[in-house]
Chain A
Amino acid sequence: AGPPRAHDEL
């Protein structure tokens, strides 16, 4: 599982 972070945010 990947990290729970939102990769689409700036």
Chain B
Amino acid sequence: MNIFRLLGDLAHLASIFILVHKMHTTRSCRGISFKTQALYVLVFLTRYIDLLYTWISLYNFVMKVFFISSSGYILYLMKYRFRPTHDPSLDTFKVEYLVGPCFVLALIFNYRFEVTEILWTFSIYLEAVAIFPQLFMMQRTGEAETITTHYLAALGAYRALYIPNWIYRYFTEGTVDPIAVVAGIVQTGLYLDFFYVYVTKVLQGQKFELPA
């Protein structure tokens, strides 16, 4: 565990707390893509299946259980508690365009051709692109609530912080995990546009608005 990973994981935790806080305080899930949130449930379930047969550490166990349960809770909030505030006509990205190719890629590019390894690899690829429905939705509406942008900034920062962690681990442990690294760089890259607007507008006190 190094400082970059710890900060990355804390950013990930923070993003979830921000999202739940947004939904509870505004009593709404407006501006949040249900599809992206559903993809995260799939990501966590396929990646953390090792909970059933491996013990790594208490930290690792608690975080995995938290990510699975909180992502399920978010889906519940969107699907039941705040359902009337969700507008499916804005959430139109086709997730099969993400899930299908990620699964095929996981079948081809993996470390071992085993069920759990393929599921892990699939989860890494899917996580990299799971934000697409959310970004697509914001592109359509051209705006986002400030709290939603804080959520996305924390979520993007999480994987971005894993990159210096991988560099650190390369120099201290000599290990490289090419699947995670390549997917992590792609994932972070997808946020660059968003980060630009976040830093130049939201952090200057302006509303998040995309040019028409």
- A8–B60 Cα distance when bound, in Å, is 7
- A6–B8 Cα distance when bound, in Å, is 15
Given A3-B112, A5-B180, CB of A10 within 8 Å of CB of B67:
yes
Interchain CB contact under 8 A, B56 and A6:
no
Partner of B56, one of A3, A5, A8: A8
User: Hey, which chain A residues are within 8 Å of B50, CB to CB?
Assistant: 7
User: Hey, which chain A residues are within 8 Å of B56, CB to CB?
Assistant: 7-8
Interface residues of B: mostly helix, strand, loop or mixed? helix
The contact string, 1 if C-beta is below 8 Å from chain A, for chain B 63-79, is: 11001000000000000
The contact string, 1 if C-beta is below 8 Å from chain A, for chain B 98-119, is: 0000000000000110000100
Partner of A5, one of B5, B63, B67, B111: B111
- A9–B163 Cα distance when bound, in Å, is 12
Interchain CB contact under 8 A, B117 and A6:
no
- CB of B91 within 8 Å of the partner chain: no
Minimum C-beta distance from A5 to chain B (A): 5
Partner of B117, one of A3, A8, A9, A10: A3
Partner of A6, one of B9, B64, B112, B169: B169
Q: Can you name 6 extra interface pairs (CB under 8 A) apart from A6-B177, A7-B56?
A: A3-B112, A5-B120, A9-B5, A10-B9, A10-B64, A10-B67
